[in-house]
Amino acid sequence: MMNRNFVFPSPVLLALAVMTMSATVSATAGAQLGPYATSPDAAVDLSDPAALAVVGGEWRYADAAIEVVAHRSVGADLKASGAANRTHDISPRAGTAGFDDSGWPVIEPQTLLQRRGNGRLSFGWYRLRVTLPGHVARHAVAGSTVVLEVVADDYAEVWVDGELPAAVGQSGGSVIAGFNTANRVVLTRDARPGQTMTAAIFVANGPLSDPPANFVWLRSATLEFYGREKARAGEPLETRIERNDAALDAIVAPDVRIEKVAAGFEFIEGPVWTPDGLLFSDPNANRIYRWSRDGQVSLYRTRSGYAGLDIGEYRQPGSNGLALDGQGRLTICEHGNRRVTRIEKNGVVTTLADSYEGKRLNSPNDLVYRSDGALCFTDPPFGLPRYHDDPRRELGFTGVFCLRDGRLELVSDELSGPNGINFSPDESHLYVTNWDPGAKTITRFSRNAAGGYGNGELFFDMTSQPGETALDGLEVDELGNLYVAGPGGLWILSAKGEHLGTIQGPELPANFAFGDDDRKTLYITAHTGLYRLRLKVPGRAR
């Protein structure tokens, strides 16, 4: 995983990180393109009585207040398990499932602009109930994605049918998006006529640290309906497919197009699909971003790989490869910190590997978990300021490692630039790409009786391909086909090592991750942009 601006073995870039959850990304650091960047197929202004009637809508409102409640101080487990104390809560908790709002007054939709609450530090709940019709205007509702957009004065959080989906680093959607900023929440991705849904919108006056004299109110509230195509829409781009084997047709449709879904990054890498969307690194910028299912880009973690005083010497100080373990915990290759770490559920950072036989690792680059929890990773020197010649290096080789049962095992020390790494579907083989213009190879290691990997053999060789671009990231589908970031684009190889074809998009790919619920979308990190490609075959099960 190397920046294409640099020719091996000239210095590359990376940096490390301390966990920081944060806000939306500026236009220069990850512009949003979609989905829902286009006009909806139909829309309902929920402040218009006639439009609200189309969806059988009803609004109710009640003030909320802060109350003093019994609680416990933080304990040794970092949870509320310590000594008894007193703290504050919100009353009522009107977002929960089954909440009874029948005693609340019904408010007319045209009064959403009316100021409510008592001013200063005040809060309120709006509750909206809708029933989806068969059609809105000429749009058939069945199968649509339905989005609720609310702009509150000043902040809002939106519960849907008793749930408040929230994730680390999230800004917007169901949680506070910003000062008088739109919250956009997906109510359903597969609408059914007759379906009834309830949204509970908690509104707060702000800024919270300097409460104003004014009051809470809704500036606007809208339901938007998107057909299946618009709901998935990214920006389709010119895509060139080189077919070397008819078997490619079972993987890639002849008219498939690469879509751009976000842009404006420095150099993005190391993607992993999560229940909350795609996480990916920008090692140059020393950050991890999240792209949500709804097309929002937010900063998940800053200082993701390094925070040292000499960070200016590093071109790629940040994180690179990302992976989830069996418990859903994020595991990170930190270039500048030269270690592999795991973020625990309580936010504590655990170092899994930072040395081998008493010597510091070079700069862990990519990683993959086996189903039994074993963790394999590559360790080239690409995160060090001077690569192979960096005086900070302690190991005399660039390795492939496997961490099993708390013990770090060396799989291979024979590759000059071990990079992308992945398993075959049955985990009997471990594939590793090599970043070296003089040896653009994929090595396959076999699983041995002890559960480790060895007996490396050449699986595929691209060295004859022109250019300085070597091999980077690697993905595998459930049939054992390999997707490799190689010279000229995305190479697709069969499990037998046959070159089925190459796909070229606007930028050279760096790495990949299968995503979406059916695992048939290949997300592509490619320098400045995030792309995706819809395939016929799902990624291997994780």
DSSP 116: B
**pLDDT tens-place string over residues 208-230:** 999 999 999 999 999 999 997 76
Cα within 13 Å of Cα(457), Cβ side:
6
Q: 387 with 415, same domain?
A: yes
Give me the residues paired with residue 163 across strands: 160
Q: Is there a single domain that holds both residue 267 and residue 376? A: yes
Residue 251: which domain range? 27-33+234-534
In this structure, the answer to whether residues 212 and 349 fall within a common structural domain is no
- Are residues 219 and 312 part of one domain? no
Count of CA atoms in the C-beta half-sphere (13 A) of 145: 20
* Position 17 in a domain: no
Residues 245 and 373 in one domain: yes
pLDDT, tens only, 92-142: 999 999 999 999 999 999 999 999 999 999 999 999 999 999 999 999 999
* Same-domain pairing of 201 and 322: no
b/e 503-533 (16+ beta carbons within 10 angstroms → b): bbbbbbbbbbbbbbeebbbbbbbbbbbbbbb
Integer-rounded Cα radius of gyration of the chain: 26
DSSP codes, 437-474: TT--EEEEEEE-TTS-EEEEEEEEE-TTSSSS-----E
- For residues 118 and 506, give the distance between their C-alpha atoms in angstroms, rounded to a whole number: 54
354 and 484 in a single domain? The answer is: yes
Domain of 409, CATH number, reads 2.120.10.30
CA distance 483 to 314: 30
- Residue 54 per-residue DSSP state: H
Q: 21 in a domain, yes or no?
A: no
Is the pLDDT at 13 greater than 50, yes or no?
no
* Residue 424 CB coordination number (10 Å): 17
In a domain, residue 266? The reply is: yes
Pairing status of strand 297-302 against strand 319-324: unpaired
Contact (Cβ atoms closer than 8 angstroms) between residue 109 and residue 44: no
The reported pTM is 0.85
Residues in the chain: 542
Mean pLDDT score of the chain, rounded to an integer?
Answer: 90
Percent above pLDDT 70 for the chain:
92
Q: Is a pLDDT exceeding 50 seen at residue 14?
A: no
Band (pLDDT 50/70/90 cuts) for residue 232 is: low
Q: How far is CA 279 from the centre of its chain?
A: 3
Structure confidence at residue 3 as a pLDDT band (50, 70, 90): very low
From the list 218, 44, 50, the residue with the least C-alpha distance to 132 is: 44
Count: domains in the chain: 2
Tell me which of 231, 261, 291 is where a domain ends. Answer: 231
The whole-angstrom separation of Cα 131 and Cα 135 is 12
20 inside domain: no
Residue 224 located in a structural domain: yes
User: E-assigned strands of 114-209?
Assistant: 123-131, 135-136, 139-140, 145-153, 155-160, 182-188, 196-204
Tell me, yes or no, whether 9 lies in a domain. Answer: no
* pLDDT score recorded for residue 228: 78
CATH number at residue 85: 2.60.120.260
pLDDT in tens, 132-178: 999 999 999 999 999 999 999 999 999 999 999 887 777 788 999 89
Q: Are residues 135 and 167 in the same domain?
A: yes
* 288 shares a domain with 218: no
For residues 410, 413, 414, 417, the Cα torsion angle rounded to the nearest 10 degrees is 110
From the list 440, 475, 523, the residue with the least C-alpha distance to 268 is 523
Q: With cut-offs at 50, 70 and 90, classify the pLDDT of residue 18.
A: very low
* Whether residues 436 and 500 fall in one domain: yes
Sign of CA dihedral 45, 46, 49, 55: positive
302: in domain? yes
Listed residues 206, 231, 256: the one ending a domain: 231
Question: What Å distances lie between residue 484 and 68, 313, 500, 504, 528, CA to CA?
Answer: 57, 30, 12, 12, 19
423 found inside a domain: yes
pLDDT single digits (tens) 380-394:
999 999 999 999 999
Q: What is the pLDDT of residues 330-364, one digit of tens each?
A: 999 999 999 999 999 888 999 999 999 999 999 99
Distance CA 342, CA 333 (A): 9
The verdict on 243 and 227 lying in the same domain is no
CB within 8 A of 154, min separation 6: which ones? 179, 180, 204, 205, 206, 207, 212, 216
Domain end call among 172, 196, 231: 231
Q: Assess whether 213 and 275 both reside in one domain.
A: no
